[in-house]
Amino acid sequence: MMTNVIDFHTSFFYMLNNEANGDKLHEYMSDFFVDPPVISKKQKCGKSQLMDLMVQGEIKMVEGRYSETVDICTQGLQQSLPFSAQSAILYFIRAEALESLHMYEESLLDIDRAIEISVSKTLTNMLQKKRIDILKEAACFEPQKMRDRCDFENIPQFSNNHHKYQLGLSDAIDLINNGRYFVAVKPIKMKDVILIDKSQITHLHKDDWDDDPTNNMCHYCFKYCRALIPCDYCYHALYCSKECRSKAYHAYHQIYCRYGNLDNKSSFVLKLLLKITDNGTRLKETLEYHKELENMNEEMEKKVYNLKEMKENNLRCILNLSIPMKKDDNRTEDNLFYSAKIAMLLRNHSNYMQGSNDILNLTKLLCRLCYIYDVYARMDFVPIFERYIALVQNLYFLLNLVRHSCSGNTIYTVHKNNVLVLRAAKDIYPGELITFNFMSKYVALESNSMPRSIMLKNFFDISCDCEACAKGYKFKPELGTNLDIPNQLQQRLRRCRIDIDAMWELLKIINNSTRKPCLEIEILKYSISDARQLKRLNGLSAKIRTKGFKKIIQETQQEPIEGVHRKLRGNDERYEAHKKNCLASINKIILLVNTSSQARFDKEIQTFELRRLM
């Protein structure tokens, strides 16, 4: 065995010395061979280690701190051995806490889980009696309607027919002559839905906030849940049901289970690798296509943008996103480190490679996936429940076949299950490129610290040649007092700041006023997306018409939330900061419609930066 290891080590470095990036790869891989990366994995505990948690849970129950009891029991379940007596007791304690919070459905789930694994007849009898008591109490309880801020709109229908080869596309757009980007092939009206894209990979972005909302989310379907069940083998993953746990296991968790403590970037890249290689069964095919990409010339590159072939081979679709990657990219050195680390972890701590020793090409493949993460992964805030919001990272494929423009002709919204919907922001005619502003979620339109062209290159590896960049246009107020907004529309926007239909009407008026890049148009496009976010964050669209935003926000903060003991200082800060960012663009539109405030609008708009939290 030792001889095989030495032979592998020797042959690997022989190949490595012939690589263009061999110096850095050699440095990282040498370090990892001498000092392999270690998995700091928390082990499942026995009875003695869990006793403290069970006692803490009971104390919190007696004190009436039911939400904290739920959290302690969930933590205990993550550490306890599956099907143990300790797990049954923890489910029982958590069920009692959930019952006290009037969360009867979740309480019954935990009782049933405890009955299923109970090893004591006495405990089973207690559980069955408790189950009857909960059912009786639930039958007498009249639930008050709770504001669930996960009230996403239904995914809309296409304004035209489906595309022949891609269900996520309207037949009004297509890739013409193997072009890289979508072009309109039919007339498209403003507000028409032209693209519906399901995320290829969604990753819960974990952070260091005191109250991380991912602790109350299913790690597969991302549903808010207080009665979560753990993975049987690792300490990290939580699920809302056995079904989600099983689906996650078959999708990626059978291998990912060992690496739950990785940083966000490594976790995302590893999940992406497991998806495209089907947990290693298609690794050989993937490595072969990676080698094809390395030797691909411009003529060959054009042939990969074929919607029919994209439909048939998802593996190639995702890897094709890495075609623009350059070996001299300033990300390469960091990505080589991440890639070498993940490759060595897979080789040393799993059967992912299934006997293959081609760790060099696996490392280079992972470097491609790191590039895809850096350039194409999008971050979005997702409302979960009440004041909980989570940050998720999504990879959309079809969206990345849309050309970037600093004054794009589309607007996006995110719907249930991380489905992204792209609508036309103005009338688009056959032959026009479909464009989208990929900067809109990350950086300012203008920044004193960095030119827009440099931001685009550094963040998205984009060399932009849109009209605004070609003319060196700096976004500034264009319309002045020339904009004629009907009084009725002004009143609607003053009365309800998130009247999305009114915003679309205003956008149409501005589009008719100018065909050039325009700061007011960009702000309004952000406002439409932000207004949809605010509707979900507040869940108060009916009240908005009669009360001011400030009063509503104060009312929401002071209002007790049934069934959820709030100790959310960290999440509150993030929630309020995100809401403030969403309101920023909308408040500018309110200034715009107040023609008497035009001077104030011009003054404030010049310093306006469309920033979002990362």
**Tokens, residue 425:** 């922001």
99-to-86, 138, 165, 537 alpha-carbon distances in Å = 20, 9, 50, 27
Top mean-pLDDT range of 240-244, 493-497, 558-562: 240-244
Average pLDDT estimate for 255-262: 86
Confidence of residue 474 (pLDDT cuts 50, 70, 90): confident
Q: Which residues contact 585 (CB under 8 A, 6 or more apart)?
A: 523, 524, 526, 527, 530, 610
Does position 454 have pLDDT exceeding 50, yes or no? yes
Confidence of residue 529 (pLDDT cuts 50, 70, 90): confident
Look-up: residue for tokens 């325009």?
518
**Tokens, residue 340:** 């070498």
Top mean-pLDDT range of 9-13, 373-377, 460-464: 373-377
Does position 440 have pLDDT exceeding 80, yes or no? no
Of 560 and 263, which is predicted with more confidence? 263
- 265-290 pLDDT, tens digit per residue, is 999 999 999 999 999 999 999 999 99
Quote the CA–CA distance of 184 and 426 in Å, as a whole number.
Answer: 13
Residue 218's φ and ψ, nearest 5 degrees, are -70, 130
Average pLDDT estimate for 481-506: 82
Average pLDDT estimate for 180-208: 89
**pLDDT value at position 212?**
64
Question: Reading across the β-sheet that carries 410-415, which strands appear in turn?
Answer: 193-198, 419-424, 410-415
Query: CA torsion angle for 456, 460, 466, 469 (degrees, to 10)?
Result: 10
Average pLDDT estimate for 587-597: 55
At position 20, the amino acid (one-letter code) is: A
Does position 186 have pLDDT exceeding 90, yes or no? yes
Of 58 and 450, which is predicted with more confidence? 58
Confidence of residue 606 (pLDDT cuts 50, 70, 90): very low
**pLDDT value at position 146?**
39
SS3 call for 12: helix
**pLDDT value at position 229?**
96
CB < 8 Å & 24+ apart, contacts of 488-497 = 489/593, 490/593, 490/594, 490/595, 493/589, 493/590, 493/593, 494/590, 494/593, 494/594, 495/545, 496/544, 496/545, 497/531, 497/544, 497/549, 497/583, 497/586, 497/587, 497/589, 497/590
Q: Where are the domains of the chain?
A: 47-140, 207-260, 475-542+563-613
Does position 239 have pLDDT exceeding 90, yes or no? yes
- 141-176 pLDDT, tens digit per residue, is 765 443 343 445 577 888 888 888 888 899 999 988
Per cent of the chain over pLDDT 90 is 30
SS3 call for 236: coil
Comparing C-alpha atoms, which of 404, 337, 392, 328 is closest to residue 370? 337
CB 433 within 8 A of CB 467: no
Quote the CA–CA distance of 58 and 55 in Å, as a whole number.
Answer: 5
Q: Which residues contact 64 (CB under 8 A, 6 or more apart)?
A: 100
Quote the CA–CA distance of 366 and 502 in Å, as a whole number.
Answer: 46
392-to-198, 243, 384, 433 alpha-carbon distances in Å = 14, 22, 11, 29
Confidence of residue 51 (pLDDT cuts 50, 70, 90): confident
**What does the angle CA 98 – CA 101 – CA 103 come to, to the nearest 5 degrees?**
60
What sign does the CA torsion over 182, 187, 192, 196 have? negative
Top mean-pLDDT range of 182-191, 314-323, 514-523, 550-559: 182-191
Quote the CA–CA distance of 394 and 380 in Å, as a whole number.
Answer: 8
CATH code that applies to domain 47-140: 1.25.40.10
Look-up: residue for tokens 């109970």?
118
Quote the CA–CA distance of 289 and 273 in Å, as a whole number.
Answer: 14
- 298-344 pLDDT, tens digit per residue, is 778 777 887 777 776 788 889 999 988 876 566 677 888 889 889 98
Of 584 and 344, which is predicted with more confidence? 344
- The whole model's pTM is what? 0.81
Quote the CA–CA distance of 459 and 374 in Å, as a whole number.
Answer: 8
Of 514 and 383, which is predicted with more confidence? 514
Quote the CA–CA distance of 221 and 217 in Å, as a whole number.
Answer: 8
**pLDDT value at position 469?**
83
**Tokens, residue 338:** 């991440």
419-424 and 193-198 strand pairing? antiparallel
Per cent of the chain over pLDDT 70 is 71
For 455-520, the DSSP string reads HHHHHH-----SHHHHTT-------GGG----HHHHHHHHH-TT-HHHHHHHHHHHHHH-SS--HH
CB 180 within 8 A of CB 348: no
Of 27 and 163, which is predicted with more confidence? 163
**pLDDT value at position 149?**
38
Does position 536 have pLDDT exceeding 80, yes or no? no
Comparing C-alpha atoms, which of 533, 531, 517 is closest to residue 408? 517
Mean of pLDDT over the chain: 77
Of 131 and 27, which is predicted with more confidence? 131
Does position 522 have pLDDT exceeding 50, yes or no? yes
Q: Of the given ranges (129-133, 184-188, 464-468), which has the lowest mean pLDDT?
A: 464-468
